[in-house]
Amino acid sequence: MTEITMSAELSSTCPQYGDLVQLVSPTNKRHIFRLTPGAQLQTHRGVIQHDDLTSCAWGSEVLSHQGSSYFLLQPALIDLLLETKRSTQIMYPKDIGYILIKLNVAPGQHILEAGTGSGAFTTALAWSVGAQGRITSYEVRAEMQNLARKNLARVELEDRVTFKIKDIATGFDETHADAVFLDLPNPHDYLRQTRAALKPGGYFGCILPTTNQVTILLDGLYKESYAFVEVCEIMLRFYKPVSERLRPTDRMVAHTGYLIFARPVNLLHPPGAPSDSTPPVEAEERDEGSPG
């Protein structure tokens, strides 16, 4: 009885073979890998045997054979995102977090995105929809998608993603998607394709670096009868965590992109119809400053 209890405790507090683990040095150098019997992690600060880690509790400080210190941690989504090898501008965790909430991404859903790029957002989507969910990711450049595929494979989320090499100008192959997200320069050109791919009342979002692009997109959204339109920007400021002189860090990421969200609806009087006198539906401002 005691043995059973102990082994159950061990399995919840210590990593098991097959788990994705990460070792993080005090200077934040991280190594993410699958725990494999007999394998070893070679770092420039010494070697660590995988077998030794199965008896260490999560959160433990462990030493390499040279005595260098690492912390044993379960990788979180943000750790996987920081692993993304990039050859395009990738999306930042500060934006990704809010986008996942706004698109209502949840386990078991089917989400479409374009373009795949280096696959940072694909990673976040694949993580969030879980093993029962599905991501379909469109990209025009095969070399980009190959990189994304490798990034997803490295963190073992590739199985949840269908990668397609296709220009979304010709439309998505899928219908009834829970949400569609576009990270490409001209989303206004694809609003019909997006509407056709979404389930009724589904969620649309995109990220754009300049206000000029946002203006063009807004015109398109209203023309195509999208409602609950929201435009926002996420600002994140880090502080030096020193209790005696708490102050912001010297540098910050000043701008990544504008986030735009909307939902396709069926208006009684669509724009352009003879009886149309109603303005498009905009999200009203809420007191807390978070529309929609």
Where on the chain is the footprint of ligand SAM (CB under 6 A)? 88-91, 114-115, 117-121, 138-141, 144, 167-169, 183-184
What distance in Å separates the CA atoms of residue 121 and residue 77, rounded to the nearest whole number? 11
Taking the complex as a whole, the smallest distance from the CB of residue 247 to ligand SAM amounts, in Å, to 31
Using the minimum distance from each CB to ligand SAM, give the nearer residue, 135 or 229.
135
Using the minimum distance from each CB to ligand SAM, give the nearer residue, 90 or 161.
90
Taking the complex as a whole, the smallest distance from the CB of residue 28 to ligand SAM amounts, in Å, to 22
Taking the complex as a whole, the smallest distance from the CB of residue 171 to ligand SAM amounts, in Å, to 11
Quote the distance between the C-alpha of residue 79 and its chain's center: 11
Using the minimum distance from each CB to ligand SAM, give the nearer residue, 86 or 240.
86
Alpha helices in the chain (DSSP H): 2-13, 50-53, 77-82, 93-102, 120-129, 142-154, 191-197, 211-223
Using the minimum distance from each CB to ligand SAM, give the nearer residue, 134 or 188.
188
Structure tokens at 175: 């219908």
Taking the complex as a whole, the smallest distance from the CB of residue 244 to ligand SAM amounts, in Å, to 38
Angle between helices 120-129 and 93-102 (to 10 degrees): 40
What distance in Å separates the CA atoms of residue 263 and residue 194, rounded to the nearest whole number? 10
Taking the complex as a whole, the smallest distance from the CB of residue 287 to ligand SAM amounts, in Å, to 33
Taking the complex as a whole, the smallest distance from the CB of residue 183 to ligand SAM amounts, in Å, to 4
Taking the complex as a whole, the smallest distance from the CB of residue 269 to ligand SAM amounts, in Å, to 31
Using the minimum distance from each CB to ligand SAM, give the nearer residue, 90 or 191.
90
Phi, psi of 58 (to 5 degrees): -55, 140
Using the minimum distance from each CB to ligand SAM, give the nearer residue, 140 or 267.
140
Instruction: Give the DSSP per-residue string, 168-216.
Output: GGG--S--SEEEEEE-SS-GGGGHHHHHHHEEEEEEEEEEESSHHHHHH
Q: State the number of CA atoms in the 13 A half-sphere of 67 facing the CB.
A: 0
- Count of Cβ atoms closer than 10 Å to residue 41 Cβ: 18
What distance in Å separates the CA atoms of residue 99 and residue 157, rounded to the nearest whole number? 19
What distance in Å separates the CA atoms of residue 2 and residue 245, rounded to the nearest whole number? 49
Using the minimum distance from each CB to ligand SAM, give the nearer residue, 89 or 146.
89
Residue 112, classed as helix, strand or coil, is strand
